[in-house]
Amino acid sequence: MKPTALVAGNWKMNGLASSQAELEALAAMLKEGGKAACDVLICPPFTLVSAFATAGYTGIAIGAQDCHTAASGAHTGDISVEMLRDAGASYVIVGHSERRADHAETDALVAQKAAAVLGAGLKAIVCVGETEAERDAGRTLEVVLSQIGQSLPDAATAENTIVAYEPVWAIGTGRTPTVEDVAEVHTAIRKSLVERFGDAGEGFAILYGGSVKPSNAAELMAAANVNGALVGGASLKAADFNGIIDAYR
């Protein structure tokens, strides 16, 4: 089974519910996104999930950027997958490098979060990636494949789980690996998925993220075993995000 391409926008901690500009930006993305030969997803901050999901547009999915492992309980400041589903989310990003770094999230915790996402019937985008120091030490594949092995729950399937490779040193820096470097890592991830899940591993979508922009999207999306993009800053501007989606027109 060939993976369905996905272009996902991670808005991170940006966007205000009180700003009509946010909904107008979404509308501009939807206008073009609905024509794309790929799935399109926006993951805004929690405060905008419901507004975006109920905006009445078609051709785009709405997701969230994180979740707690529990369905409810005494977890002040956290949010459950059930709450996100209730708000209209259909995807949840887990294990983003900023969560791993800022909140000391481990592979084990990421796997638990992913399992919670799948258990609630949503799709998980599981992020992996190496730091600059790990890359300079020649440990890229070691680190990434270890994260893959320990961050994906046993319930993961090609239908409910997407893998996103984001070299930490390339996120928001303007630096990107070469196309050959990206293909090498994605091909190694594909091999590890097939080793664990059998032929079904061929169906997992593997996204690339890290300074993706309209000027390099087509080249990156054409690399071996790249099935779409997880876009950060460029997803905040309709022209840039649509320019990346153009790689699939």
Structure tokens at 41: 């997803």
Annotation marks residue 186 as catalytic:
no
Annotation marks residue 96 as catalytic:
yes
Residues contacting 55, CB < 8 A, separation 6+: 23, 26, 27
181-190 burial code (b ≥16 CB/10 A, e <16): ebbbbbebbb
- Paired residues of 7 in beta bridges: 40, 229
For residues 29 and 238, is the Cβ–Cβ distance under 8 A? yes
Active-site residue identified among 22, 96, 98, 105: 96
For residues 85 and 118, is the Cβ–Cβ distance under 8 A? no
Active-site residue identified among 82, 105, 166, 186: 166
Longest dimension (CA), the chain: 49
Active site residues: 96, 166
